[in-house]
Structure formats: structure tokens, C-alpha cells
Amino acid sequence: MRRSSNDNVKKPLRFDKNKGEFRILQVADMHYADGKKTPCEDVLPQQFAHCTDLNTSVFINRMIEAEKPDLIVFTGDNIFGFDAEDAAASMNAAFAPAVASKIPWAAVLGNHDQESTLSRAGVMNHIVGMKHTLSEVNPYGVDVIDGFGNYNLEVHGVEGSSFTNKSILNLYFLDSGDYSLVPSISGYGWIKPSQQFWFQQTSKKLQKTSKAPGLAFFHIPLPEYAYFDSSNFTGVRQEGISSASVNSGFFTTLVEAGDVKAVFVGHDHINDFCGELTGIHLCYGGGFGYHAYGKAGWSRRARVVVISLEKGSHDDWGAVKSIKTWKRLDDENLTAIDGQILWSQRPSGSRRKKPIHHG
């Protein structure tokens, strides 16, 4: 199965013609279970009595209203399998705000999604069948590529511009697995050689027609996320980096391909930093869901990524000019924090940690 047959997926993703931008909302680690029956974790005592999965849903709705994204990306642990009585019902509830908004959305799996009543294949097949999703199981079938949920999406230029039928932003989604299946290796899963080969071939093919920048989304952080300290990232690191215990080399694969400018993951809920390594920004979404571990008094949060186009001659929109990001906190004002430019066509020395306008 490649893709859902919903009417909305027939239209290519496209940059907004008024602003010349494409806006992505990243939702990391909803950990949704059974709605109003599911209590929150790690909230302040005065919040606990009335806090459930429904708080997660309210937060998504607030973010959709505030940011009006062109694409919503769920980066795994969408449901918390151990506590979800019915995986399909939990997913329907978890993704309901995105479906109701009719905004295109895409999802990858984390390490907890398959721990309820459906296997990883079953979970991904259910997601692919939902309304308004652009998610896919695998482009060549499950026997060719490891995992469930390896696919790419192309974002075309503004309608009527010289890039109308051309992808000028490429999005890659990968299944980073759940747990190691190799007896001698403990810990979490990793992105396998078959997936890396698919990425290499896809990236090479896309770059033949356009030198478009790319973004990658998956759940479990790469070991390279541990290379940062507080001096060289924006955001916070409040827990260890829970990557696989082996390095599968995917970061090197990304560097060699050359098109991916930033990677976005979840998994470690109270890390929300974003730092640059060898020309690629490695970013966390920050914990989103209320039925997920967090830190009492430290707001749940979401990451926003905005890709802007350059203005061409005759008011024509051109190729991608910059990629910027910030986070919003689930507080009274949806406070925007940690704005930074991830990539720009300007010389690299002029794009580091400039203040940017949110919204």
C-alpha cells in the first residue's frame, strides 16, 4: 500500500502564494491513550485533577489556530500502547484535531505505538487509511525496506510561478524502529541499511531535477545528538540522549547526500534543543502530550518550522530563501521561544542565532 486514496492527497503540497512560505507544525510524543479516562503525568498538583489526554487535543487545536500550518507532522509515540485499550480508537482520537482541520498531515511511528492491540504494520496501515493524511507505509512494499512509514513528500512552488510543477522542498519520513532485534545489542532501534539506501536513491533522484533543500523526520534521535553541549545549541538538554546503542551511520549518509538541512525527532521529552553539526541542524520537538513523562512546571511545547521563498522579478516567487524555527509553549499566550534560522542562502556567518519574528 502506498498512500491513502483520500481526495486531498491528489493535490501536491504547495507554498502559499500570498506569503511565499510553507509552515510545518511538529507534534512530538502525544502518548495518547483513552481520552478523558487517561490521567496526565508530571504536571503541577493544581493541574492534575482535571488533566487528561483531552488537554493534548486542546493544545493541538490551539496550535493549529495560532500557526495555521500547511502540514502537521507527528513524529512518533502518537499513542501510548501500554495504556491504550484499543489502538485504532486511540489513534482516531489522537489525530482527530488534524483530521477535523482538513490540513494535510503525516506521521511516523515511535517505539510505543505498537504496544496496544495492533502491530507496527497494523498501526501504520490504520494511519494511512485516515482522512487528510499523506502518510505512506513504504514506497516499494514492506519486503524491500525495513520498517513501516518510510516515504517522501515534495512541496511545489507557488502556483503560477516558474516553480509550479517543481519540488523546491523535499520532506523525508523514516521509521527509526522500536527496540533492537539483535540479541547482542540492547536498547532502541535504528535506521537500517535498506532505509538508508532508499533515502540515498530518493535524494539523488530529486537532486537531479532540483537542488531543493530537504528536511527529515523520525522518532529516535541519532547518536550524534549527544555531540552537543549548552554552548552550541538553542533550547535545553535536561536528560540523556536515548539513541540506539549502535551507530548505523545515517548521519554520515545525510551529510553525504547534501540536501537535508535539518532533522526533527522526539523520544526525549524534556530535551527541546536544536544545534548544528557538519551543516545539518539536529532538533528535538520537545514533549507535547500530557500522558507522557515531562517535568512539572515545564510547559508542554510544539515546534514550528517555516520555510520562506525568495521574491523573484515581476513579483514571482523563487526558490527557498530560508528555513527558520521556533517553539510555542502550552501556556496562556502560547509563548513563542527560541527563534533561530536553520538555513539560509546568505553566507553561513550571517545566519547564526539571529532573532526572528514569530508568527
139-163: average pLDDT: 89
Tell me the average pLDDT of the chain.
91
Give the tens place of pLDDT for each residue, 32-74. Answer: 999 999 999 999 999 998 999 999 999 999 999 999 999 999 9
Query: Cα(133)–Cα(135) distance, rounded to whole angstroms?
Result: 5
Query: Cα(95)–Cα(106) distance, rounded to whole angstroms?
Result: 10
* pLDDT (0 to 100) of residue 8: 42
- Where residue 141 falls among pLDDT bands split at 50, 70, 90? low
* pLDDT (0 to 100) of residue 85: 86
* pLDDT (0 to 100) of residue 10: 54
240-255: average pLDDT: 97
97-104: average pLDDT: 98
pLDDT of residue 206 exceeding 80? yes
**Distances in whole angstroms, Cα of residue 70 to Cα of each of 14, 21, 35, 339:** 8, 9, 26, 19
CB 8 within 8 A of CB 132: yes
**Distances in whole angstroms, Cα of residue 122 to Cα of each of 40, 118, 134, 146:** 27, 5, 17, 15
Query: Cα(276)–Cα(340) distance, rounded to whole angstroms?
Result: 11
Structural domains of the chain in order of their starting residue, each with its CATH number:
7-350 (3.60.21.10)
SS3 343: strand
- Where residue 349 falls among pLDDT bands split at 50, 70, 90? very low
* pLDDT (0 to 100) of residue 104: 98
Q: Which of 69-73, 241-245, 351-355 has the lowest mean pLDDT?
A: 351-355
* pLDDT (0 to 100) of residue 358: 56
More confident residue, 311 or 97: 97
Written as one letter, the residue type at 306 is V
CB 264 within 8 A of CB 73: yes
